[in-house]
Structure 1
Amino acid sequence: MMKNLELFTFDVRFQFRHGFYAAYALVSVIYIGLLLLVPASYVEQTSVLIIFTDPSVLGFFFVGGLVLLEKDQSIFNTLFVSPIRIHDYLISKVLSLTLLAMVSSSIIFFVVHQHHVDYLPFLIAVMFCSIFFTLLGILLAARVDSVNMFLYTSPLIVIVFYLPLLSFFNITDSVLFYLLPTQAVLVLLEGALDNLTVQDYIYAIAVFMPWLSFSYVLSYHSFQRFLRTKCFS
């Protein structure tokens, strides 16, 4: 437990020193300014769209860059000789970036909507979204050799999970969207500004738990194979 906390603290400090928090402070200010200029009738939909896309982009691309940077700097050759396990590394990366996503998203929603938000479903949605996409970022980063390859390949993965936006914008709807974790995120985010039933919570958790478990197992084994073939071969 102490080892995990130390690694988490190190990652948060690393992200702070390298401008992650400063960058997202600026991004948050821009989003808030944009939302304050949007006509009142579109504020809720626009803010949900921003929060839906932002934590996923943050975790997915930031962790991809971090993993590939650490690989180029040969950090893994020494890091995993220490008592640190792969589980420790993955959990620290996921939780530290999720913390950043939750802080940024909460500030945006609090300033724009103030007290007209149910923060329980809101925070659950941001947390689930960030954890899931950060794991996807690790999974992809473990399978590519460069940042360019990561950037070229990432839209093929991300676009599948953005399909529920078609329903969100009333373009088309499908019951299959409700099998995706991102549909659950939209249900929670919209409910945070309206009302959620117990069934909505049950649905969101029932959809997310298998996806999070599957993505974690897949990311773990991909990262383990990556270390074995690229770092210790």
Structure 2
Amino acid sequence: MIGNLIKTDLVLGVRSYVYPIYILIALAYGLMLMVFPEQYLPTMVPVFLVLEPGLVGLMFVGTEIFAEKKDGAIGALAVTPIEWRSYIFAKTLLLSVLSIVGAILIMVIGTSSFNGILYVIIGAFLCSIVYTLLGIGISAKYHDLDDYFVPILGVMVLSLLPFVHYHGYLTNEIWKLLYIIPSYPALYFFKAPFVEISGNTLIWSGVALLVWSVVAYYIAKIRFYKYAVEGLR
């Protein structure tokens, strides 16, 4: 069932140019990074890596859900044997795989190197799962991108704050609360190709992203069913 949903979603995403645009954005990010001097790459590459699998994915999954609401695809979940849970899993898995492709393009084109690519792949995959599920949960209530813009903007601002804290610009103790934002543990994976990150830090970062994945799944499950499936009956 999930395999068929992934195949259908992939075909629709390619036909609507959503997924090709997603990959083109990653390509554009990689080309943009080539302009930066090498000493700036350890700072700029992680920013672009979070933007691609996380925040761009958040926007794209919302756009997909709006389109599928309008053409009745989501409404069909309420009257067909297809489980809405399978729909969530299929979309999350597909976008997570696409995020890996995008992250590899950004890293390899931007740095002209495969060094640390495994860290990037793991971070992109886990980060994408979290933000895709959050995107499904948040966008389920809305019907177009105009309404979704404010939540996207809020998530983007919060998700970029860990970069500011990591580089020492937010020094008050209260800013340690930023550690709970999912982009913070993802940041350690994206910094690992450039600076030494301890194994324990990476393990705990992975655990944090897995915990966030569970939380985001329950948010997506509850809100998607309430607003997108049950709300269209």
* Fold match (TM-score > 0.5): yes
Aligned equivalents of 2:15, 2:144: Cα separation in 1: 24
Contact 1:97–1:130 under 8 Å retained in 2: yes
Q: Which runs of 5+ in 1 are unaligned?
A: none
Contact 1:59–1:131 under 8 Å retained in 2: no
Report the CA distance between 1:156 and its aligned residue.
2.3
State the partner residue of 1:89: 87
Aligned equivalents of 2:221, 2:118: Cα separation in 1: 29
Aligned equivalents of 1:230, 1:218: Cα separation in 2: 16
Secondary structure of the structure 1 residue equivalent to 2:186: helix
Q: Which moved more, 1:172-181 or 1:184-193?
A: 172-181
State the partner residue of 1:59: 57
Aligned equivalents of 1:167, 1:63: Cα separation in 2: 28
State the partner residue of 1:164: 162
Aligned equivalents of 2:28, 2:210: Cα separation in 1: 33
TM-score (norm 1): 0.90
Root mean square deviation of aligned Cα:
1.9
Q: How many residues align?
A: 230
State the partner residue of 1:147: 145
Identity of aligned residues (%): 21
Contact 2:117–2:193 under 8 Å retained in 1: yes
Amino acid at match of 1:219: A
Contact 1:58–1:101 under 8 Å retained in 2: no
1:196 matches 2:178: no
Contact 1:32–1:111 under 8 Å retained in 2: yes
Contact 1:184–1:208 under 8 Å retained in 2: yes
Matches within 5 A, 1:1-233: 3-173=1-171, 174-232=175-233
- Indicate how the Cα distance of structure 1 residues 28 and 217 shifts in structure 2: closer, same or farther if over 3 A, else same: closer
Report the CA distance between 1:180 and its aligned residue.
2.2
Q: Which runs of 5+ in 2 are unaligned?
A: none
Contact 2:115–2:193 under 8 Å retained in 1: yes
Secondary structure of the structure 2 residue equivalent to 1:75: coil
Q: Give deviations 1:28-65, integer Å, cap 9, x for gaps.
A: 33223222211121122111111112211222111111
- Indicate how the Cα distance of structure 1 residues 107 and 153 shifts in structure 2: closer, same or farther if over 3 A, else same: closer
Contact 2:34–2:111 under 8 Å retained in 1: no
Amino acid at match of 1:107: L
Q: Which moved more, 1:102-111 or 1:146-155?
A: 146-155
Contact 1:32–1:108 under 8 Å retained in 2: yes
